[in-house]
Structures are given as structure tokens and as C-alpha cells.
Amino acid sequence: MVSPTSAVTTYDVTFNITDGTNPIENAKISMGGIRTTTDSSGSAVLKSQANQTYSYVIKAEGKDDVKGKVTIAQEDKTLNIVMN
């Protein structure tokens, strides 16, 4: 007998991007082959799988690129990132 495959559980990775004071709108975020941009509050949410490490790159006009890695356990994660 074949058991049905269970759906993959995903977790939210929330990026909050600021210049140290103000949110940065339209920052481009790339993580694990997924791309998105931040909203007017400088936030964006990407889905991820548990027990994975993802590399990310954030780009915004007039700012230095930010590169990093985030490891997702079995919970949502929030990253507060300041771009210079």
C-alpha cells in the first residue's frame, strides 16, 4: 500500500529593510531562487522549507548590496536589515 505524500510545510521569512531610520521601498530580495520586492513599509515575506539554509541578496537603488545566509528551523523567521 502506498501512503499519500504529505504536503511540504513552509515557514515565513520576513525581511524588514531600512536605512537605519526609514523603510526602504522596492528593495529587491532574492533568496533560494525566489525574488520579491519590499512594500512601502520596507517589508517582504518569502516562503521557505524547514531545516534549510538559504543565501540571500538584497539590492536597493543608491544602497550597498547586502548578502547573507539564513537558516530556517521549524519556525517563522524575521530579519531586520539596515542598508547603507
pLDDT at res. 1: 52
pLDDT at res. 7: 76
pLDDT at res. 15: 98
| Structural domains of the chain, ranges and CATH numbers in brackets | 10-82 (2.60.40.10)
Q: pLDDT tens string for the chain (84 positions)?
A: 555 566 788 999 999 999 999 999 999 999 999 999 999 999 999 999 999 999 999 999 999 999 999 999 999 999 999 999
What is the rounded distance in angstroms from the CA atom of residue 14 to the CA atom of residue 46? 7
pLDDT at res. 2: 53
